Amino acid sequence: MYLLYLDDSGSVENRNEDYFVLGGLCVPEQSIRWITYELEKLAQDIYPENRRLVEFHASEIFGGRGDIWGRIRDREDRVNIIKNVLNVLQEAHASTAVFACAIHKDSYPNEDLIQMAFEDVSSRFDRYLQRVSSETGYQHKGLIVIDKGSHENSLQKLAQSFREEGNRWGNQLRTICEVPMFVDSKASRVIQLADHIAYAVFRRYNARDLNYFDCIEGRFDRKNGVIHGLAHKQHHNPHCTCPACLTRR
């Protein structure tokens, strides 16, 4: 079983932001405990009094919001905490892969961006599992886990529809065994890592800030030199040189 943990970054309604991102990581079930343990160690270093009070939420860390992050006055120290969370991926199992969809909002004024992003990422996850199953000779199944604050009702209905009727390309999600599970981010360190991945992709496209994206670029699903785990949906720059566009050109 593989689990795809997802969170979003950016707001569909905020006109001051150019992008909306849905992103996260695909984890084989045997790796969940290891990732959780590594993030618990980081939380212990940050707040030894009670690590359970530490919730890794990238935008709050960056802004120094909340009781714990507000005590860390130096922004560079907070930036390094975000990077340390992302760098847990460096030692993760090889089959742990990152997925994300970054949508330029003005390029799709009449589209449901949440639906578009979920459709894209879930389809990429499904194709990844089909490829892994083909390579290993074992039929792998997947489950999608999403932060509870992320559009629960609409995404459950959407996933059910995809499974039964297929996506806009006529493809069904053959490997995904249930509608998405929604969990409280406070209870899941892996969802907190997904939050950081979505934030890293959002900062890369919305603010051209590579600080965090560079920590995860090598973990996007890729095959034969093409990055399959990252989608950049836009119509405003036909010469975009981001990794997603460049490897497909």
CA distances for 224 relative to 227, 228, 245, 248, 249, angstroms: 9, 10, 15, 11, 14
Say what the pLDDT of residue 86 is. 98
User: What is the full per-residue pLDDT of the chain (249 aa) written as tens digits?
Assistant: 999 999 999 988 899 999 999 999 999 999 999 999 999 999 999 999 999 999 999 999 999 999 999 999 999 999 999 999 999 999 999 999 999 999 999 999 999 898 899 889 999 999 999 999 888 888 889 999 988 765 655 566 565 665 555 555 445 667 777 677 888 889 999 999 999 999 999 999 999 999 999 999 999 999 998 999 999 999 989 999 999 999 887
By CB atoms closer than 10 A (0-12, 13-18, 19+), residue 172 is middle
Report the domain count for the chain.
Answer: 1
| Rounded Cα distance, 231 and 57, in Å | 23
Residues contacting 192, CB < 8 A, separation 6+: 39, 55, 56, 57, 85, 185
> What phi and psi values does residue 247 have, to the nearest 5 degrees?
-75, -10
Which residues, in sequence order, are bridge partners of residue 7?
23
The single-letter code of the amino acid at 7 is D
Quick one: tokens of 100?
């994300």
- Measuring CA to CA, which residue among 8, 81, 77, 100 is closest to residue 39? 81
| Rounded Cα distance, 147 and 20, in Å | 16
Which residues, in sequence order, are bridge partners of residue 28?
2
* DSSP summary character for residue 235: S
The secondary structure element, H or E, covering residue 60 is: helix 58-63
Q: Are 147 and 4 in contact (CB under 8 A)?
A: no
Q: Are 103 and 9 in contact (CB under 8 A)?
A: no
- 69 lies in which domain range? 2-246
Q: Are 129 and 140 in contact (CB under 8 A)?
A: yes
Which CATH number characterizes residue 174's domain? 3.30.420.10
CA distances for 221 relative to 67, 174, 228, angstroms: 36, 19, 5
